Amino acid sequence: MNNEVAKSDSVMFNNSLISADDALAFLLDSAIAASRIEVVSLDDSLDRVLAGNIQSTINVPGFDNSAMDGYTIALDDHQVSQKNLVFNVVDRIPAGSTGNELKMGCAARIFTGAPIPKGANTVVMQEECQLSKDGTQILIERPIKLNENIRPTGNDITKDGIILSKGRKIQPQDISLAASVGIGNLEVFKKIKVGVFFTGDELVEPGNSLTPGKIYNSNRYALVALLKQVGCDVINLGNIEDKLKATCDALESLSNQCDLIMTTGGVSVGEEDHVKPAVEKLGELNLWKIRMKPGKPLAFGKVKQVPFIGLPGNPVSSFVTFCIFSLPFIKKMQGNSHYESKIVKVKANFECKRAKPRREYARVQIDNSSETLLANLYPKQGSDVMSSVVWADGIIEIPEDTVFEKGTILNYYPMNELTR
């Protein structure tokens, strides 16, 4: 079988629009999870992905301790649930020290976190204890029960238990939990390297003056920022000449350095769109037209076995397709077990009277002043209106081939979940 036949067989959806659901499923099936591992300190572990389960070697707490400041008592059986009991205060136990064994009917001053001494079986908070003038006795007027205000050994974490699972993206609370069982270093997946470049002779770098027919290259800065925010190492070739050879050279270079290659623009079918033919020349293109708005020309394939994602050139299209398709793909590559996007059900505070052939991802703001979440549309939904993304707190999914009334329940993607 020659190479041309092999390539044509590998193309999944070459000449037809495919649904957003099928496109996302295909990308995720193609994503190969990270396998390279490194060890980092707790200080360097934030937002990294755990490469294995974390098991505790100790109980937390490692001893029964007091849940509050007060008095710990060796309560005799006949004293349980009795009122107006008097106890001799024979010890003082601050946190970090251990007290002496208590005899029945005796008490010790104790502080939050301090170990419960041998013989003691309850703790009464200090506000409920009346201390004698000489400080040698306490009176407790209310009935006392056994095991009040005592945190038992292993109340938080039990020895040999799994406290953090493989594939978890490490958050500050996870770091605290690991530290609480004495773990100072964590095995994490190595960061994936993403190579990017940008094409278009009309593009000008911010800070320079615009000449007629030119626009500023905002996609470059948006894509690099998004990739860094989700924990990728970025190799940025910047703007390259808008020629087929230059595009092929850039793809060739990045395929030798990166785990993933991404571009914006150049994936349509115009004479000046060179990314698509360059990818096909060096590898294969598996899909490139999605039945969605904005963002129809989304390309996915391989360059020498390195995954390639080509985002559309319009700023909003590029941003939306990154969030809906690229981000779950990248998360799965990172080894993140929670790679699927979070979806919230909200009510549309607008209607759709005319069915549309493509699924639409519209920019909305949520009004949470009522009992139900209401989504309000930005008035301009064009793929060039980047101000709609800045204004929005999320993206709402308007199904294809559907009409609906105001108040219809739709899928909503919170912006803070789509960009991290």
Mean pLDDT of all residues in 397-413: 96
Per-residue pLDDT for 15 more than 80?
A: no
Contact 308, 302 (CB under 8 A): yes
Fold of 38-59+158-189: Molybdopterin biosynthesis moea protein, domain 2 (3.90.105)
- Residue-wise pLDDT tens digits, 117-144: 999 999 999 999 999 999 999 999 999 9
Half-sphere exposure of 125 (CA within 13 A, CB side): 5
Per-residue pLDDT for 419 more than 90?
A: no
Residue with tokens 């995954």: 307
DSSP 384: T
Per-residue pLDDT for 92 more than 90?
A: yes
Helix ranges restricted to H, 48-104: none
Q: What is the pLDDT of residue 3?
A: 37
- Could you tell me the two tokens for 372? 């139900």
Q: Is 126 exposed, middle or buried (0-12, 13-18, 19+ CB in 10 A)?
A: middle
DSSP 34: P
Burial pattern 45-65, b for ≥16 Cβ within 10 A else e, equals beebbbbeebebeebbbeebb
Q: What's this model's pTM, rounded to 2 decimal places? A: 0.89
Mean pLDDT of all residues in 294-320: 93
Single out the residue of 11, 12, 33 nearest to residue 22, CA to CA: 12
DSSP β-bridge partners for residue 287: 13, 300
- Residue-wise pLDDT tens digits, 70-89: 999 999 999 999 999 999 99
Q: What is the CATH number of domain 65-151?
A: 2.170.190.11
- Residue-wise pLDDT tens digits, 329-368: 999 999 999 999 999 999 999 999 999 999 999 999 999 8
Superfamily of domain 344-412 in the CATH hierarchy: MoeA, C-terminal, domain IV (2.40.340.10)
Where along the chain do the CATH 3.40.980.10 domains lie?
A: 3-35+191-333
Q: What is the pLDDT of residue 371?
A: 84
Half-sphere exposure of 6 (CA within 13 A, CB side): 6
- Residue-wise pLDDT tens digits, 217-263: 999 999 999 999 999 999 999 999 888 999 999 999 999 999 999 99
Per-residue confidence band for 270, with pLDDT thresholds at 50, 70 and 90 = low
For residue 300, the surrounding DSSP H or E stretch is strand 299-303
Q: What is the pLDDT of residue 19?
A: 94
Per-residue confidence band for 274, with pLDDT thresholds at 50, 70 and 90 = confident
Q: What is the pLDDT of residue 297?
A: 87
Q: What is the pLDDT of residue 5?
A: 33
Q: Cα–Cα distances in Å, from 333 out to 32, 395, 413?
A: 5, 24, 21
Single out the residue of 265, 259, 336 nearest to residue 297, CA to CA: 265
Residue with tokens 């000008």: 204
Single out the residue of 319, 377, 383, 325 nearest to residue 346, CA to CA: 377
Where along the chain do the CATH 2.40.340.10 domains lie?
A: 344-412
Q: What is the pLDDT of residue 10?
A: 45
Pick the CATH number of 3-35+191-333 from 3.40.190.10, 1.10.510.10, 1.10.520.10, 3.40.980.10: 3.40.980.10
